[in-house]
Each structure stands twice: as C-alpha cells, then as structure tokens.
Amino acid sequence: MSNLSILTVHAHPDDESSKGAATIARYRSEGIHTVLVCCTGGEAGDILNEEADSHEARTDLASVRHRELDEAVRIIGYETVYRLGYRDSGMPGSEHNAHPDCFAQADLDEATGRLVAIVRAERPQVMVAYDYDHGRGHPDHIRVHEIGHLAFERAGDPAWYPDAGDPWEPKKLYYTGVMSRPRVEKMHAWFEEQGEESPYHRWLEMMAEREPKPVTTQVAVHDWMHITRDALGAHRTQVPATATWFRIDAETMRTLYPWEDYHLAESRLGPLPEGSSTFEDDLFAGLR
C-alpha cells in the first residue's frame, strides 16, 4: 500500500472537475491517497443549464451543488473530501463579495489554519492549488492561491497553529489550471479545422497579453480523459450540454492532447534543473 498522498485545494464545486480530474483518477488507480478541499459552497453561482433549473436550485443552490460535488467526487475517485465551509464570494465586484461569511472576507490566518489542520491530518507529499492569475480576478480563486502557499509554508512549522495537529511538511506545491500554450494551440487548431469558431481564440489573446506560468509537469492521462467529462457532467446546474468542454469528443481529445499540465510553484526537493527542456511527467517525481 502506497503512503503517497495528494491534496488539492479548489474554490468551488466544479473546479475539481474542470482542473486535474483525470490526474486524480490516474493516481487513485495507482493506490495513491486522494484528498479534495473545497473552500466554498458555490452558492453565488448562476444556473447555467436550463434543464437543471428548479425551485430548489433557485432557492437553495448550495444544497444542489453539495450533491453535485458528491457525485463528481465519486466519479473522479477522491477518497476524502473536506468542505472548508466558506460562502462563495461571487464574481469580482458582485454584491456577494461583501457577505461576512464569504471566503474573500475570511481572516487569512484563520482560513489558512483550517487548511493546515487538514494537511496535518492527511499528510500529503503533494499539494495542488492555483496561480494568482488563474481565476482572472475571481476572489475565491485568489484566496485558494493565498492559503495554498501559506499552508504549504506553515503546516510543518510547530509555531503555527499548535492545536491543529502534529506538524507535517508537504514537499511540492503545484498550480493546476495553468494556461498551457501547447494545449490551447492544439484545441484552437481543431476548431479551425472543423470550420468552427474557436472558443480558444480569446485564450490565445490573453496569453499574448500576459505570458502564463510555464508548464513544468505533464501528467499522461490518456486512459482517464473520460473522467473529466463525466465529472463535469455531474455539475448539472453549472454545465450545459452545449458547453465548450463537451464539443470535442473524448476519443478526439485523446489524440489531440492526452495530458494535464501543471506548474511547480514550490518544492522542498530543490529546483528543477536550470534550463530543463524536459517536463516532469509525474507530480510525485523525486518522491517515489
């Protein structure tokens, strides 16, 4: 039995499905312990799929999304799920930002302490969070970036949160959801070849404005790519059947780009070799 463990931190229900789901399914199949921390209930989300529009969704979206997350987690193969318990802060500038229970309003040290307690209980070697820029200003995604880094720094330090369990030092912190140039270019080209308007055109423009963090790590997920699709489908209120994600079928995706891409943000194993032209192919590289 492996003692390897991976802990991902995500902002809302559905982020765990759109970012890195196939990677988790692959690691679970290898016997690695898989832990999800979902920081908010997603209650500020819109109902984006009219087929999932219901009285309950309109009046108690948090409960609906709670069940959607349960279903996605089952599909992906997360063994353990923690809900950090914050309210969704909504899009930048929305009235949700000011709600006293929302993640954006939370005290940073207190929120980090909640995550540190989980890190110490689950003892992951690898943590996954977001780049600052990842959510394009979404307050909850910025918060994931902040508490991800702070928990990575503090979990092994006995001076921090002495009542939150025995110190544990994760070895690597990755960003998921990185804008990966090779991936975006492949997807864009596919839409152009079909003679369709490419939803990735805008991504290429954004990457031209600001160079995204480089991809350091590519995880091969050929056999698990259908997982992403199925898990996204579980978030029925958020994902209409016409969503971009579903426009390319799983078999085509396998031939286009059968990897999930990451940026190694922090490592206690030392930096990657300077000027390294080869990617890591495993988030646990150096740990097995």
Nearer to Zn ion, 40 or 217 (CB): 40
Nearer to Zn ion, 13 or 156 (CB): 13
Q: Which amino acid is at 141?
A: H
Name the residue number minimizing CB distance to Zn ion: 12
Burial class (CB in 10 A: 0-12, 13-18, 19+), 133: middle
CB of 181 to Zn ion, least distance (A): 22
Nearer to Zn ion, 12 or 143 (CB): 12
CB of 12 to Zn ion, least distance (A): 4
Total number of residues that touch Zn ion (CB under 5 A): 3
C-beta atoms surrounding 252 within 10 Å: 11
**Which 1-60 residues touch Zn ion, going by CB under 5 A?**
11-12, 15
Nearest alpha carbon to residue 168 among 23, 26, 280, 35? 35
| Contact by Cβ (8 Å): 274, 216 | no
- Where do runs of H (alpha helix) occur along the chain? 15-18, 21-29, 55-59, 61-76, 108-122, 139-154, 181-193, 201-209, 225-234, 250-256
**Which 196-235 residues touch Zn ion, going by CB under 5 A?**
none
Nearest alpha carbon to residue 240 among 52, 42, 46? 52
Q: Does 68 bind Zn ion (CB under 5 A)?
A: no
CB of 285 to Zn ion, least distance (A): 28
Helix axes 201-209, 181-193, angle to 10 degrees: 150
Nearer to Zn ion, 11 or 234 (CB): 11
CB of 42 to Zn ion, least distance (A): 8
| Contact by Cβ (8 Å): 231, 246 | no
Euclidean distance between CA atoms 210 and 201, whole angstroms: 15
Nearer to Zn ion, 126 or 142 (CB): 142
CB of 140 to Zn ion, least distance (A): 6
CB of 19 to Zn ion, least distance (A): 9
Nearer to Zn ion, 11 or 106 (CB): 11
| Contact by Cβ (8 Å): 40, 103 | yes
CB of 152 to Zn ion, least distance (A): 20
Nearest alpha carbon to residue 203 among 133, 145, 103, 98? 133
Nearer to Zn ion, 15 or 122 (CB): 15
Q: Would you tell me which residues interact with Zn ion (CB under 5 A)?
A: 11-12, 15
